């Protein structure tokens, strides 16, 4: 097998640079989708059901795109056509989602349905772009550069998330209105989505045109892919049966990692507006009766963006030191420790009443987030066969979306039945679950293994 050449730092940087923009879009969605949907008339206690469209789109899109990109070759490369196409559609959906009241009556059911449809289109296209990026890093980097490759990827993801999460707050500070009438979305959020969609596409263009993917013959030589391998037909269910043991073990960790993250994204606006800003438990943003609380709700919405920016900034910084910590200890110790810190930080949100103290909790959540973004893929990339890495990465991303679907289905009923609609208790539950994730890392085996089928 020909040895794959090492990449320079800036080559690895360019491979992952598009992640900056994709995560910019994800961050805007995560920090503002609940705020937008609530403004359009969604019941805050049923938000998890609306958010289900996001992981369901991932469930449908990621394996298909992974398998298709394994077999694609164009003048742009294998992964780049999907990365670019998804970015273009993402930008369009980001422009339309917060503008639902322009097309339909503010506060009406049609505006809410349009908003949810744009959320589904946006998230589906995010996944079309995001999934091939994971495979692209493995395609382009030799084994000895995987740690640094995924760490740079994590760093760029979190820098994008910092800017995207804080953008409505920044625009408000610059004078763009942060309040809106009942049933409408604040201008600061609308303009954030305009800027975010544009930057998403621009950053993806950097990766597409600055990264030269290896032609099929060269790639096959580097990865030791034979004609027999290429002729072999892929059976989806057989792939599920023959997944490496470490992937199944990591799936348990992923369950206990992404379940609480989904609760954070869906219910942080509810928890922070109630616990720190005094918004009533039965608040309805589209009901004129609650207009006196709309200002506090919009202020809480901006603060959610600041807290998300904080945990993303910490994650970006932790991504820089993570390779060194792995060298000094091990992947499992760093992974488990980060999840433990994140779980305790979720729980700490309950004990604070001043919104500025939330930033302390976000430090720990940021450490966990950095590990969640990088560690599973770092561990997994060394055991997957190059001829199937795209589809296996797609399959593994099911361990990201399935926990979110589960969280979305039962999150709302849990909030109502057990927590009397108090969102802060959902954050405590998220912390307990993430601590279970920390414990489950101990059962992950990192033996080098290859799949023959």
pLDDT at 88: 94
Cα atoms in the Cβ-side hemisphere of radius 13 Å centred on 285:
33
Q: Residue 277 phi/psi, 5° resolution?
A: -120, 0
Closest to 50 measured CA to CA, from 136, 1, 117: 117
Q: Does the residue 278 lie in any domain?
A: yes
Q: Does the residue 449 lie in any domain?
A: no
Q: How far apart are CA 408 and CA 53, in angstroms?
A: 9
CB-neighbour burial class of residue 257 (10 A; exposed 0-12, middle 13-18, buried 19+): buried
Q: Does the residue 37 lie in any domain?
A: yes
Q: Report how far apart, in Å, the C-alpha atoms of 69 and of each of 16, 132, 266 are.
A: 17, 7, 31
Residue 442: count other Cβ atoms within 10 Å of its Cβ.
12
For residue 384, the domain's CATH number is: 1.20.1250.20
pLDDT at 339: 97
Q: Directed axis angle between helix 358-381 and helix 245-275, to 10°?
A: 160
Cα atoms in the Cβ-side hemisphere of radius 13 Å centred on 120:
14
Residue 232: count other Cβ atoms within 10 Å of its Cβ.
12
- Paired tokens of 170: 């920044």
Closest to 293 measured CA to CA, from 179, 175, 169, 424: 179
Question: How many H helices and E strands in the chain?
Answer: 19, 0
- Paired tokens of 386: 């190059």
Q: Which residues have CB under 8 Å from 294's CB, separation 6+? A: 179, 180, 182, 285
Range of the domain at 254: 9-443
Q: How far apart are CA 299 and CA 349, in angstroms?
A: 18
Q: Does the residue 109 lie in any domain?
A: yes
Closest to 204 measured CA to CA, from 72, 74, 91: 91
pLDDT at 130: 77
Q: Does the residue 1 lie in any domain?
A: no
Q: How far apart are CA 48 and CA 1, in angstroms?
A: 49
Q: How far apart are CA 103 and CA 97, in angstroms?
A: 11
| Secondary structure (3-state) at 32 | helix
Q: Does the residue 309 lie in any domain?
A: yes
Q: Does the residue 427 lie in any domain?
A: yes
pLDDT per residue, tens digit, the chain (453 aa), is 567 888 888 988 998 898 888 888 888 888 888 888 888 878 776 777 887 877 787 777 777 787 787 778 888 888 888 999 999 999 999 999 888 887 777 666 888 888 888 888 888 888 888 778 777 887 888 877 877 887 787 788 878 888 888 898 899 989 998 877 777 888 999 999 999 999 999 999 999 999 888 888 888 787 777 666 666 666 666 676 777 788 889 999 999 999 999 999 889 988 999 989 888 877 776 667 777 777 888 888 888 889 988 998 898 889 888 888 988 998 899 999 999 999 999 999 999 988 899 999 999 999 999 999 888 887 887 677 666 666 777 678 788 888 988 998 898 889 888 998 888 999 999 999 999 999 999 998 866 544 333
Q: Which residues have CB under 8 Å from 175's CB, separation 6+? A: none
Q: Name the domain count of the chain.
A: 1
pLDDT at 452: 38
Closest to 397 measured CA to CA, from 123, 122, 156: 123
- Give the ranges where 71-183 is alpha helix by DSSP (H): 80-96, 100-103, 109-140, 146-173
Q: Report how far apart, in Å, the C-alpha atoms of 107 and of each of 113, 180, 184, 205, 401 are.
A: 11, 12, 7, 37, 30
Instruction: Note whether 220 and 231 are within 8 A (CB).
Output: no
């Amino acid at each position: 097998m020909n040895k794959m050449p090492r990449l320079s730092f800036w080559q690895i940087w360019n491979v992952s640079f598009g992640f900056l923009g994709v995560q910019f879009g994800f961050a805007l969605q995560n920090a503002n989708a609940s705020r937008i949907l609530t403004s359009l008339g969604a019941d805050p206690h049923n938000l998890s059901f609306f958010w289900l469209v996001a992981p369901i789109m991932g469930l449908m899109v990621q394996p298909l795109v992974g398998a298709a990109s394994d077999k694609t070759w164009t003048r742009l490369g294998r992964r780049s056509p999907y990365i670019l196409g998804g970015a273009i559609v993402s930008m369009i959906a980001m422009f339309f989602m917060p503008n639902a009241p322009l097309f339909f009556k503010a506060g009406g059911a049609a505006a809410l349905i349009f908003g949810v449809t744009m959320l589904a289109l946006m998230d589906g296209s995010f996944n079309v772009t995001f999934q091939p990026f994971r495979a692209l890093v493995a395609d382009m980097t030799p084994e000895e550069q995987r740690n640094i490759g995924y760490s740079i990827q994590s760093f760029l993801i979190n820098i994008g998330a910092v800017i995207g999460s804080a953008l409505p707050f920044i625009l408000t500070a610059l004078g763009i209105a942060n309040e809106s009438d009942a049933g409408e979305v604040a201008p600061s959020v609308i303009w954030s989505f305009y800027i975010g969609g544009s930057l998403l596409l621009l950053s993806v263009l950097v990766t597409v045109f600055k990264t030269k993917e290896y032609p099929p013959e060269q790639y096959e030589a580097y990865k030791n892919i034979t004609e027999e391998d290429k002729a072999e037909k892929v059976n989806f269910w057989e792939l599920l049966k023959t997944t490496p043991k470490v992937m199944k073990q990591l799936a348990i960790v992923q369950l206990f990692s992404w379940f609480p993250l989904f609760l954070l994204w869906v219910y942080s606006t509810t928890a922070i507006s109630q616990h720190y800003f005094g918004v009533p438990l039965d608040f309805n943003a589209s009901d004129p009766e609650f207009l006196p609380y709309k200002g506090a709700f919009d202020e809480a919405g901006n603060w959610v963006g600041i807290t998300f920016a904080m945990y993303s900034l910490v994650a970006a910084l932790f991504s820089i030191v993570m390779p060194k910590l792995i060298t000094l200890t091990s992947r499992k110790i760093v992974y488990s420790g980060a999840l433990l810190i994140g779980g305790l930080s979720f729980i700490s949100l309950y004990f604070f009443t001043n919104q500025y103290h939330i930033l302390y909790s976000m430090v720990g959540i940021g450490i966990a987030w950095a590990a969640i973004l990088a560690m599973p893929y770092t561990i997994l990339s060394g055991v997957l066969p190059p001829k199937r890495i795209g589809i296996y990465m797609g399959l593994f991303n099911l361990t990201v979306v399935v926990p979110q679907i589960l969280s979305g289905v039962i999150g709302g009923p849990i909030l109502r039945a057990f927590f009397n609609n108090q969102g802060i208790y959902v954050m405590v539950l998220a912390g307990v679950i993430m601590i279970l994730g920390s414990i489950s890392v101990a059962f992950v085996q990192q033996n080098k293994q290859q799949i023959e089928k």
